[in-house]
Structure 1
Amino acid sequence: MPPHDADRREPVPHRTDREIETLEAFDRVVEGEGSLRGWRVQSLDLTGRTDALAAADTSGAVFLGCRMPPEAAQRAQEGGALVFPPIPDLPFNPYRGSLYTPEELFDGLGGGYAHTPDGRTYDWFRRTRADGDVFASMLRAVHDDAVSDALDELLAGHRVVGVMGGHALRRGSDAYAGAARLGRGLARAGMTVATGGGPGAMEAANLGAYAAPFEDPMLDKALQVLAAVPSFEPSVADWVRAAFDVCESHPDGGPSVGIPTWFYGHEPPNVFARHIGKYFVNAVREDGLLARARAGVVFLPGAAGTVQEVFDNATPNYYQSRGEPTPMVLVDRAHWTERLPVWPLLTSLAKERAMEARIALVDSVEEVPATLARLRQP
């Protein structure tokens, strides 16, 4: 279990899980039940399980992207299973059963970002999204649904706080350091930090969560290392390597979640989010992030994208379409009242509604954890 996860969990209602995502789970089911009836088997290499497949009842089973000999696939189908084979020559796995890791997305970085799985998938997305190919559209949809399923499994019972903010925030700035302290404070308060998974304020908040288990000077040292490469432009590879240097010097940091998108693929995912749910469809990604952040959402200064996220979150709060309104904390009074006067409109919307008691405007990130705790009070 990752550090502090036990402190982040809330009771989870019992549910029947019919998904098999590891070979160990496959063996347990087959040996224990002698049947795969009704199970969903995701993205496993079953080439060494031919005999087990032949002996098991496969009626109603679904195999999603599993490798198996042709004769085994045929027997499974004859037994009543649906078999969706792996898709050759794709830079991603549409049937994946787990979230991404930074190491997976940036594998092969030594050859340049374009040669990594993340870079190759972005290239595939750019080539296929405009050609109208229904097969490519289907693959994107299947992939994004698999990522959503993996996010639900990971975050079940966690108190998730979303941190939103601008991608342009540069390493080495006071604002970046403040966002990092915010992520650290939320993680130390027992929250699971979730961000849009990209650079800027998002990376800073994930960095803070990564730093949470260590003594305070670790974050100061990390900020110094990162300041040497302030942006992912012009070199994504240099930007990523600086982050991996921090992780290598301080392994086993705290967990957090990043939810980026290939829609904005020119912005790479950040390394400090140790669980990455990357999507093709940006609207699904944004709504999913906000919907999962039931313990609250913090909005750091940002531009158009962050303004959109404020009101994406305000709308279900206004209509209470997700039950009790989610706490919302906007940070930096001058930004949200003068530069981009979002706060006056938000308070006008909230007037005399349940969400009125769940919104707050604060001056600094240091005020956020206590403010969130207050807003969550019944």
Structure 2
Amino acid sequence: MRRTRGSVIYVDSLDELDQRLASGARSFSGWRLRDLDLTDRSAALRAADVTGALFLGCVLRPDDGESVRARGAIVFPMIPAVPIEIYRTALYTPQELYDTADYADSLDARVYAWSQHEDSRDTALAQALHDHSLGLALDDWTHVRRLVGVMGGHGIERGEHAYADGARLGRMLAQTHTVATGGGPGAMEAVNLGGYLSGHDEDALDESLDVLSRVPDFAAHIGDWAQAAFAVRDRFPHGSESLGIPTWHYGHEPPNAFASAIAKYCRNAQREAILLEVCQAGIVFLPGAAGTVQEIFQDACENYYADESSLAPMVLVGREYWTERYPAWPLLQALAKGRPMEPHVHLVDGIDEAAELMRSGASR
């Protein structure tokens, strides 16, 4: 949660700064002022005690910058020639990432290209600061919501039965929770689609699945793939909220357009840990390959060492899939045996049973 009280405070707008000053604040100690144009606040800066304050990407008059540094503040400047807002204060929207008609010119594509072709200390610092700021924005977004996660394979194509199942699962889960996914294509997109359409009837979902099936995957043309999703959003403009947490580490996996809020990270390891952490209501694991198996056991590790008050349910969908094709279930079951996590770990045949378990808290 973004701190507005206590020893560390984030100040993200001039209005908030002015309100605090008008209320009598004279010390900026512990404040984190982010991305503010302070060129017209010289008098306030000179009058305040700035010892211990951080100015993150703020615009300061040169003499004001020298003054606050001399009096104990730390100033992090903007890093030039980077395509991302490194002191960002909000999550992304699909429209921001797909901000041009040609995907190759979009913000999403520009950031990926920059991340792959720039190798410098400034780049590493920009990515770290961006991901830190994004994490704070994600805290703001998640702390007032109860999230249930769904993990699954990115290779599932629109038009496949598994894609429709993912969408229907997302729709069912969104009746009682906010749905979160890895934010990419395949099963992730399907679940975010179901969350987006959770306030509409089944006919809307069926119609959307039909529209999307005409562009089954993104491999041939990401722009066409994304435009099909935006066509669905235009047809049903009042969608429900859901969360996607993708990464620019996987440039071949574009973000899906059905998550209303997108926390897109530069660093994949940080993204993976956060994705599992925010799903406090538990996670459903649809069929997937190595990435999904990794997520199963990363989540299992957290539950293995958790006490009874910190457990998050785990539901694996596909009895044959998880016992024969990729036999994660026997090992997961063995890990859970005799521990507090045991009654919270489940293997089911289909999405209806998975949704019911999540609605009931997923414990026997």
Q: What residue in structure 2 maps to residue 181 of structure 1?
A: 168
Distance 1:229 1:53 in 2: 55
Counterpart of 2:51 in structure 1 is 59
Backbone CA RMSD of aligned residues: 2.3
Could you tell me which amino acid in structure 1 is paired with residue 65 of structure 2?
Answer: A
What's the counterpart of residue 255 of structure 2? Answer: 269
Q: What whole-Å deviation, never above 9, does each CA across 1:336-375 have from its counterpart, x for those lacking one?
A: 1222111112111111111110011111112222212444
User: CA–CA distance in 1 between the matches of 2:42 and 2:202?
Assistant: 52
The counterpart of 1:69, out of the listed 42, 46, 61, is 61
Shift of 1:331: 0.8
Match of residue 154 from structure 2? 167
Q: Is the 8 A contact 1:60 1:82 kept in 2?
A: yes
- Equivalent AA in structure 2 for residue 97 of structure 1: T
Q: Given the superposition, is the C-alpha separation of residues 353 and 15 from structure 1 closer, same or farther in structure 2, using an over 3 Å criterion? A: farther
Q: Indicate yes or no: 2:110 matched with 1:124.
A: no
CA distance in 2 between counterparts of 1:248 and 1:134 reads: 42
Q: Is 140-149 or 252-261 further displaced after alignment?
A: 140-149
Match of 1:20 among 11, 17, 20: 11
Counterpart residue type for residue 113 of structure 1: Y
Q: What does 1:52-201 correspond to in 2, within 5 Å? A: 52-107=44-99, 109-110=100-101, 112-128=102-118, 131=119, 133-189=120-176, 191-201=177-187
SS at match of 2:137: helix
When residues 272 and 45 of structure 1 are mapped into structure 2, their CA distance, relative to the original with a 3 A threshold, is farther
Q: Is the 8 A contact 2:195 2:240 kept in 1?
A: yes
Residue pairs, 1:216-295, within 5 angstroms = 216-295=202-281
Q: State the partner residue of 2:326.
A: 340
SS at match of 2:180: strand
Match of 1:3 in 2: none
C-alpha contact (below 8 Å) 2:79/2:126 kept by paired residues: no
* Local SS of the residue matching 1:264: coil
Unmatched 5+ stretches in structure 1: 1-11
Identity of aligned residues (%): 48
Once residues 216 and 15 of structure 1 are traced to their aligned partners in structure 2, the CA distance between those partners, rounded to angstroms, is 45
Provide the C-alpha distance between the structure 2 equivalents of 1:25 and 1:369, rounded to a whole number of angstroms: 42
Deviation at 1:75, TM superposition (A): 3.6
Output the CA distance in 2 between the equivalents of 1:90 and 1:322: 45
Per the TM alignment, residue 321 of structure 1 is displaced from its structure 2 partner at its CA by 6.9
Amino acid in the other structure paired with 2:75: V
Deviations, residues 216-270 of structure 1 (Å, cap 9, x unaligned) = 3222222122111111111111111111122222223111111111111111111
User: Residue 4 of structure 1 aligns with which residue?
Assistant: none
- Cα separation, partners in 2 of 1:79 and 1:179, compared to 1, 3 Å: same
Deviation at 1:48, TM superposition (A): 4.9
Q: Which residue of 1 aligns with 2:37?
A: 45
CA distance in 2, matches of 1:355, 1:228: 43
Q: Is the 8 A contact 1:260 1:279 kept in 2?
A: yes
Greater Cα shift, 19-28 or 309-318: 19-28
Greater displacement, 302-311 / 97-106: 97-106
Q: Shift in Å at residue 65 of structure 1? A: 1.1
CA displacement 1:71-107 (0-9 Å, x = unmatched): 4433433443222121111011222122111111121
Corresponding residue pairs, total:
361
- SS of 1:353's equivalent in the other structure is coil
Distance 1:207 1:350 in 2: 32
1:157 Cα offset (Å): 3.9
Alpha carbons of structure 1 residues 33 and 118: separation in structure 2 relative to 1, 3 Å: farther
How far the C-alpha of 1:156 sits from its partner, in A, is 0.9
User: How far is the alpha carbon of 1:290 from its aligned partner?
Assistant: 0.6
Instruction: Indicate if the aligned counterparts of 1:359 and 1:375 stay in contact, CA closer than 8 A.
Output: no
Structure 1 pair 72–250 and aligned structure 2 pair: CA distance change class (3 A):
farther
Q: Secondary structure at the match of 1:262?
A: coil
The code of the aligned residue for 1:94 comes to I
TM-score (norm 2): 0.92
SS at 1:33 equivalent:
coil
Contact 2:148 2:280 in 1 (8 A): yes
**TM-score where L is the length of structure 1:** 0.89
2:150 and 2:181 in contact (8 A); partners too: yes
2: CA distance, partners of 1:241 / 1:322: 45
* Deviation at residue 68 of structure 1 after TM alignment: 3.5
What is the alpha-carbon distance in structure 1 between the residues aligned to residue 262 and residue 226 of structure 2? Answer: 15
In the alignment, the residues of structure 2 paired with residue 54 and residue 239 of structure 1 have an alpha-carbon distance, to the nearest angstrom, of 53
For 1:46 and 1:301, locate their aligned partners in 2 and report how far apart those are by CA, in whole Å: 51
Deviation at 1:56, TM superposition (A): 4.2
1:40 offset after TM fit, Å? 0.7
Contact 2:248/2:265 (<8 A) preserved = yes
Distance in 1 (CA, whole Å) between partners of 2:357 and 2:212 is: 29
CA distance 1:242–1:44, shift in 2 (3 Å): farther
| Structure 1 residues 46 and 207: alpha-carbon distance in aligned structure 2, compared to 1, 3 A threshold | farther
**Letter matched to residue 20 of structure 1:** V
Relative to structure 1, the CA distance from residue 76 to residue 359 in structure 2 (aligned partners, 3 Å threshold; closer, same or farther) is: same
